[in-house]
Amino acid sequence: MIAIISPAKSLDFESDAPCKISTTPIFQKDADYLAAKLGKLNPTQLADLLGISPKLAQLNSERYTTWKSAPVKQALFAYNGDVYDGMQAKDFSESEIAFANDHLQILSGLYGLLRPLDAIKPYRIDMGTAFATPKGTNLYKFWGDRITVQLKKRIKESGGNVLINLASQEYFSAINTKNLKARIITPTFKDMNNGKYAMVSFFAKRARGMMSRYIIQNAIIDFEMLVGFDDDGYRFNHELSKSDNWVFTRG
């Protein structure tokens, strides 16, 4: 069983990682290629491409133009968004980090597919960015089926044939589910809002991180055990769950 999550726009390269072990991303050469192309854009062009402020565009222009000498940090500890707040990976034990590295994968617009201990550099580009390369007009076309092929390999190495989809739709769309040939379980998290259950983006992102933590800390390899997830008040909702779309509610 493998779980997938999205990356985060916010990064933390200031604090020390609780683990010194790191690995090299499988698509490092592709990341270097994309970074080199992005480094040729001026801040104004980057701002337009990424839809970010001039200040952020300047920061990322500097990141890409100094890419070769940029600092590195393991992906699990470098990303710093809502999902990662929910996961609280800095508290993981050595054995939990090792389990995460074998059973958790992070999708990335720049790196394609990452293991938690893969060393990454600071960057900013989303999977849905319309960044043209010789392979096509956007990053989906750049990656093609390569993410799917590698993910399929990782699922096989895990000893099962189940993918737990905790990624956003933007990143999940980079996977060719037909070619993946795996059972895909997609947990959804909903909160009571005005008398009915609805997805609240902030809470849902944190809950994806919490479920990732639940999988890792309990060393779950049997997907059926996920119905026991009850962190922060969430409970599996049998009535709202349909087929492999599993709904967890609270409130």
CA distance 108 to 221: 24
Kindly state the average pLDDT of the residues 144-155.
98
Q: Does the pLDDT of residue 89 top 90, yes or no? A: yes
CA distance 186 to 70: 36
The pTM of this model reads: 0.96
CA distance 87 to 208: 8
* pLDDT tens figures, 10-62: 999 999 999 999 999 999 999 999 999 999 999 999 999 999 999 999 999 99
Q: What is the pLDDT of residue 194?
A: 87
Q: What is the pLDDT of residue 243?
A: 95
Q: What is the pLDDT of residue 193?
A: 86
Q: How many domains does the chain have?
A: 1
Distance of CA 7 to the CA centre of its chain: 4
Percent of the chain with pLDDT over 70: 100
Q: Does the pLDDT of residue 80 top 90, yes or no? A: yes
Run of H or E residues at 171: helix 169-172
Structural domain span for residue 207: 2-11+20-250
* pLDDT tens figures, 168-214: 999 999 999 999 999 999 999 999 988 899 999 999 999 999 999 99
* pLDDT tens figures, 221-243: 999 999 999 999 999 999 999 99
With 0-12 CB in 10 A as exposed, 13-18 as middle and 19+ as buried, what is 151? buried
Q: Which residue has the tokens 């133009």?
A: 65
Distance of CA 231 to the CA centre of its chain: 20
Give me the chain's average pLDDT, please.
Answer: 97
CA distances from 190 to 204, 226, 237, 246 (A): 7, 16, 10, 11
Q: Does the pLDDT of residue 247 top 90, yes or no? A: yes
- Residue 112 near residue 123 (C-beta atoms within 8 A): no
Kindly state the average pLDDT of the residues 4-8.
98
* Strand locations in the chain (E): 2-5, 73-74, 104-108, 112-114, 119-120, 162-166, 183-193, 196-198, 235-236, 245-250
